[in-house]
Amino acid sequence: MIKKTMAKSEIFVKKNWVDILLILIIFLIGFSIRLINLRYGLQTDELKWIFRAKKFIWALYDLNPSGTMISNHPGVTTMYLTGFVYFLLPENLDILSYSRLPFCILGAATCSLIYLMGSSIFNRERGFLAAVMLTFEPFYIGITRIVHLDGLLSFFFTLTLYFFWLGITQKKNKFTLYFLGSH
């Protein structure tokens, strides 16, 4: 069973090595752009999100579900990501920079998803062009460097569209379409 899976993965890598390389390059460039001067600049909502995340994660840790209702704003995913980082790190570290890391990672992953989606819908060149345009777009770089909902929204929306496209176009694998319908 394991040998069969390994053989399939080797065939997949040999067949799609260019796409895998481009996805990694897009991700690494996008991530490194977002890491430049990560600790500088402050958006006013970030401190609110970090404070909310701290209270949220400690309420989860204490098994106090009523304590997780901190705001009427629907930012549970933001509080999970930021609270998880806050929970793992000691308090004397630069919490702002470390809280921004998951958002930088997902912002760079969105650029790679755009490549996958563009190359699936059109062709490799158009997918690469779309990914490069998003990777270097200043507003998107800025919005995916901060602790806020917008970067997460773009990632999950792009992921949903990509899975939806795969579910429609790949008749043999309806699992992706069923998976999306279950959420």
pLDDT of 9? 64
Residue type, 85: V
Where are the domains positioned within the chain?
2-181
> Contact 129/114 with Cβ under 8 angstroms?
no
pLDDT of 26? 95
pLDDT of 170? 76
State pTM to two decimals: 0.82
pLDDT at 181 over 60: no
pLDDT tens digits for 89-125? Answer: 776 677 788 888 999 999 999 999 999 999 999 999 9
pLDDT tens digits for 43-66? Answer: 778 888 888 888 888 888 889 888
pLDDT at 183 over 60: no
Return the closest-CA partner of residue 102 out of 73, 87, 80: 80
Cα 150 from chain centroid?
Answer: 11
pLDDT tens digits for 25-43? Answer: 999 999 999 999 888 877 7
Give the model's confidence band at 157: pLDDT under 50 very low, under 70 low, under 90 confident, else very high.
very high
Task: Tell me the average pLDDT of the chain.
Answer: 84
pLDDT at 67 over 80: yes
